Structure 1
Amino acid sequence: MRALLIFSLVAFSLPLSPFQAWAQIGAPSEQPFILILGIGQDAGVPQSGDHTHPGWTDPESAHLATSLGLVDPASGKKWMFEASPDFRRQWYMLEQTEPSSGQLTPEGIFLTHAHIGHYTGLMFLGHESIGASNVSVYAMPLMADFLELNGPWDQLVRLQNIRMRRMGENIPVRLTNQIQVIPFIVPHRQEYAEVVG
């Protein structure tokens, strides 16, 4: 766990794209690792309405919406934290970092809360895009209810593009023998659902 935190801190401190940062740090061995896939607020950077931001013409000044990738090289499995509006590109980046044998979707996606930059990328799992089959989506109870009871997200559940996996506060979610995720409530605007770190 400490190695994952250290890797996160190193990756966050580099003013580079994930691919550039990865090349400079070097690929780890068979140990699980985290890759920073985006650091921008919900809508990324630049945001609509800010026509003077240099990111519109300079890709180095633009940032994808916040997201993390979790990779277990030993099993070849990958998970994402957040399904941002930049999901397509972020999944591509994650898949290219540690290519697997044609894995079309992440093993699972962890959602922290119901703000647009954290769940709207689920739309790319639907039949208009990937047409995924039972991708595990880990969410707290209110967040899971929000997706199951509101369109268009409920269609992803009905068509079995996603399978909701309800989490509980401070209850570990074991992904492999080496990896577990423990959600904890954090103080942030809880308009539709819990907010977890």
Structure 2
Amino acid sequence: MRDEELSREVNLSEQSDKDHVADIYSKLANIINEDIRKASFDDVKYINLRDVNLPRNVLKRPIMTQTYSVTTHGIFGQLLEHFTSYKQSIGDRKITFYKVPSIVKGEYCLLTEVDLFKIAKIIDATLFKKYPLIKCLYQYIRDITNIMNKLDIPIDWISPNGIKIVQFYRKLKGKSKYRLSHKVAILNEYSDN
């Protein structure tokens, strides 16, 4: 995989002491925030996204975990961890709102779960849209994993610090729950194929 732009953004290309240290998360944060605000103009139901400005620290984990198969729902859950919520009665319904940073310094946007799920979808699409070679590599690794799993061959690799890892990816067949005095143990049972 040769992607000079990406290698510079993750500091893998040759650099001198005078070169600026790149930060892919900040770069993607800018792109994601632009796409979020654009969504407010593309569809009137997302008008609340008009002034959203998510900082790097909120976006780093959802970006980073995409290559670990995080889903849009998983990204949504990661976002919820960062925002204060409160319920407000509107008519006979209680709606949960989340305080999300705004482009106006010191102010917040009030978003619903529908708004935050739209943001999760935007985040989910951005990494692979911006860097299509990462998507190709990611899909290749998933395909190899599926083939090895079907052949019942473990994935065998060595971590950067020298630890040997042998991983079988088996389908969960069922769970059994056992009560042991005051504790509960859950044992997972995996199928052989």
TM-score range, shorter chain: under 0.3
TM-score after normalising by structure 1: 0.26
TM-score after normalising by structure 2: 0.26
The structure with the largest helix share of the pair is 2
The structure with the largest strand share of the pair is 2
Q: Quick check: which has more Rg, 1 or 2?
A: 2
